[in-house]
Structure 1
Amino acid sequence: MTDRPTSPWPLSLPSLSVWPTGQRDLLAQLRDAGCVPGTETDTERIPPAVAAHAIATYTRPGDLVLDPDCGAGTVLTAALRVDRHALGLTARTRWWPLARANVTAAKTAGAWRDGSVLDAQPKILATVCAAGLIGRVGLVLTTLRTAELTSGPDFDPVESAITELATTLFYCEPLLRSGSHLIVVARPLRHSDGSLVDLTTRLVAAATSAGLALVERCIALTAGLRGSRLVIRASLTERRTAGPPTALTAHLEVLVFQRAHDVELAAEAAVGIPRPTQDEATSPIVNGGEYRGWRRAA
């Protein structure tokens, strides 16, 4: 039994932080969040408790929360319920009605901030249609989705999903407000031999190529805590899966990023390096290329 992924290259990661987000089972979380029936069919959704913890930790009331691949809309509901604006995108026809219904349900329950769901691909974020969002998003919160990608004899759903997500992160980076965060939530995946896929290294590499820097690595529990004991929640299908015996998963991987330029400025400030004035500033080189948002960040 192999439960430790092998990284192809050394990666220095921040210390782990554990979120106690599995105290209620997923169906109970959906009921507590006021999600509409059918939301549970989105098996790759971000659990409401995980979304709520991320939003409470990394945003303030009135901030805009963006999920560029929102599925059934659990992130949007969690944001609206705690006085944040919410914007979701999905080009998957089965999810748009559910996401929209969840936004409507939150508004009906008393949420008064703006909530919208666009039937669009994330690439719309790189067009003039999204120009008003540049530098205004308080949190991008999304997940790695693999279930609905096209298959084929040589098709690698994980690689395809990461490539698609890397492009989405590239579109989202200019939208982040200075000092705000982008969070990717990923559930553990396994190779055919039962070993875990090394998602962390590949997701960090994808984010780095989009001009982002890892600032926190967290574990969001999907198991309940009973004193010092974990109560694992798994479906009958997961428990009866044929093949080599593997440990049941009890968590989601949570990677927290900021714009690379913001991280560099914070590091310089910490050691007393003066920040250049607008007249003195020159376009910095970040990750081997010119940083696209240097003028608004300076």
Structure 2
Amino acid sequence: MCDGVVGSGPRYRPVGEEPATAALSVWPTGQHDEISQLRDGGYVADTAADTERVVPAVAASAIADYSTPGEVVLDPDCGAGTVLVEALRAGRHAVGLTPNARWWNTARANVTAAKRHGAWRDGCVLDGDPRLLASVRAAGMAGRVGLVLTALRPRAGSVVDDADPAHAMARLTHALRQCRPLVRPGGHVVITLRPWRHGGALLDLPSRVLAAGQAVGFLPAARCVAMLGELRGSRVVTRASLAERRAAARDRAAGVPTLLSVHHDVLVFRAPALAEPATLAAGEPPSLVVSAPPRPHATDAGTDAARDGWVRAA
């Protein structure tokens, strides 16, 4: 059970007030560490235990760039509810689902805390998996969701390094398929991806997520980098935990070239407009449009290796 709010609560942006900056393909979302973000954002203590959560600063950036005040933001696998809180803070309606009883309680507590601190008051957490989106309970949401924002999560109760990536991808594809009828024409889907290793190898999950989004009828719109490290001039300062540093040191000592992660990948899709085809022509290669000059791929800091199937060579 959650036991109170961490910190004194955040300062909220007035509804309708949006940043004047254009969307970038590299998001400076690591200027404050995640624990500070949770504390300053008024999240309940148990939120930190959801290690696969969407980082609050990443959620806030995606919501500001890919939705407008008053729209519905949906997270079909909301965990502890960081997406819901950031949506409410930004003046959006928020709907989340989770089949996990612990995260359902935590997410509800976070939504209640956000409302108590003056956030937009229309937010709810449903106890169920994405199949609920096809039921009568979600009928009123058809074509009304402006943004689906979620993270690729491993199987409930497992951790990333031990989880089956195929199972996680199947769950995500199922969730996207259930969300598709709810997203308004021109609406967006944003998926965040943590660096994920399986059997010691770094996986190329972005290409799989890209294929999954296209398979259910979304169009690729952008591929972005959400920084976890702090930008200090031309330097990136990692915020890796002591446990992560020790794990990387052990891997390197064993001959596995492992570097500390400094970002999450972010894939952005768009729902076709009414007069637009929902899928690409047969044989046409997918393309991504970014709003800034191309940047080097950096799933691990300083690494730019070629991809091959699931696994990217170290």
Shared fold by TM > 0.5? Answer: yes
SS at match of 1:172: helix
**Pairwise CA distance, 1:287:** 5.7
Whole-angstrom distance in 1 between the partners of 2:228 and 2:135 = 37
- Listed as ranges, the gaps of 5+ residues in structure 1 are 1-15, 266-283, 290-298
Deviations 1:135-186 (A, max 9, x none): 10011000001152579xxx96111000110010001011111111001101
Aligned to 2:145: 137
The answer for unaligned runs of 5 or more in structure 2 is: 1-23, 283-314
1:137-216 matches, cutoff 5 A: 137-146=145-154, 148=156, 157-193=164-200, 195-216=201-222
Q: Secondary structure at the match of 1:240?
A: helix
Instruction: Classify the secondary structure of the residue corresponding to 2:219.
Output: strand
- Matched residue SS, 2:25: strand
TM-score (ref. length: structure 2) = 0.76
Greater relative CO (CA pairs within 8 A, separation 6+): 1
* Aligned residue identity for 1:258: R
Q: Superposition pairs for residues 238-249 of structure 1, below 5 Å? A: 238-241=244-247, 242-243=250-251, 244-249=256-261
Q: 1: distance between equivalents of 2:91 and 2:246?
A: 42
Report the Cα offset of residue 47 of structure 1.
0.7
In the alignment, is residue 221 of structure 1 matched against residue 233 of structure 2? Answer: no
Which one-letter code corresponds to 1:262 in the other structure?
A
Q: Is the 8 A contact 2:185 2:274 kept in 1?
A: no
| 8 Å Cα contact 2:150/2:191 also seen in 1 | yes
Q: Pick the aligned partner of 2:269 from 257, 260, 268.
A: 257
Give the CA RMSD over aligned residues.
Answer: 2.1
Q: Note if 1:52 corresponds to 2:60.
A: yes
Deviates more, 1:129-138 or 1:241-250: 241-250
**Alpha-carbon offset, residue 191 of structure 1:** 3.1
Count matched residues: 251
Query: Counterpart of 2:106?
Result: 98
8 Å CA contact retained: 1:86, 1:114: yes
Distance 2:137 2:155 in 1: 29
TM-score of the two chains, using structure 1 as the length reference: 0.80
The 1:158–1:219 alpha-carbon spacing in structure 2 relative to 1, beyond 3 Å, is same
Matches within 5 A, 1:276-291: 286=279
Secondary structure of the residue aligned to 2:221 is strand
Higher Rg: 1
Aligned to 1:292: none
Asked if the contact 1:213/1:263 (under 8 Å) is kept, the reply is: no
* Partners of 2:279 and 2:26 in 1: CA distance: 30
Task: Establish whether residue 75 from structure 1 lines up as the match of residue 87 from structure 2.
Answer: no
1:245 positional shift: 3.5
Shift of the alpha carbon at 1:112?
A: 3.3
Give SS of 1:95's match.
helix
